[in-house]
Amino acid sequence: MPRLLVVHHTPSPSLQAVLEAVREGVALVDGVELTVRPALSAGPADVLAADGVVLGTPANIGYMSGALKHFFDTVYYPCLDATVGLPYGVYVHGNDDTAGALTSIARITGALRWKQVAAPLSLTGTPGPADLEACRELAATVAVSI
């Protein structure tokens, strides 16, 4: 059974709502095993066991969270050659701007040679129904790709 890994940093009620929508989106796809790990506890074994990844983070001062950066620092070398082409999607939530976080994530996933299979999702402010639906679609798109 294909495995989808969700690596997230979820420090706010807004991001918790987004994470729940991601779970719902994966549940719409039959035959996919979901593993959800906080960014500070996810590691190389999680990535190596996954057939696809969804990354989720707040935008903090124009960058991804320190927790997601720690995740990348932890998995980079152990996963560099073993995960080339790994399908992924990403969501970033910020109060007003997510561009810097999205750019930094794209640089790292590019260096890892992962394959972006869903458009990055940039969310600002309190997520509304359309935002949560977009999160479900992002997760389902990545799940279908694996």
C-alpha–C-alpha distance, residues 28 and 3, integer Å? 14
What are the extents of the domains in the chain?
Answer: 3-145
**83-117: pLDDT as tens digits:** 999 999 999 999 989 999 999 999 999 999 999 99
C-alpha–C-alpha distance, residues 15 and 131, integer Å? 11
Q: With 90 as the cut, is the pLDDT of residue 130 above it?
A: yes
Q: What is the pLDDT of residue 96?
A: 87
Determine the topology of domain 3-145 in CATH: Rossmann fold (3.40.50)
C-alpha–C-alpha distance, residues 29 and 42, integer Å? 23
CB atoms within 10 A of CB 137: 17
**31-83: pLDDT as tens digits:** 999 999 999 999 999 999 999 999 999 998 889 999 999 999 999 999 999 99
Predicted TM-score (pTM) of this structure: 0.97
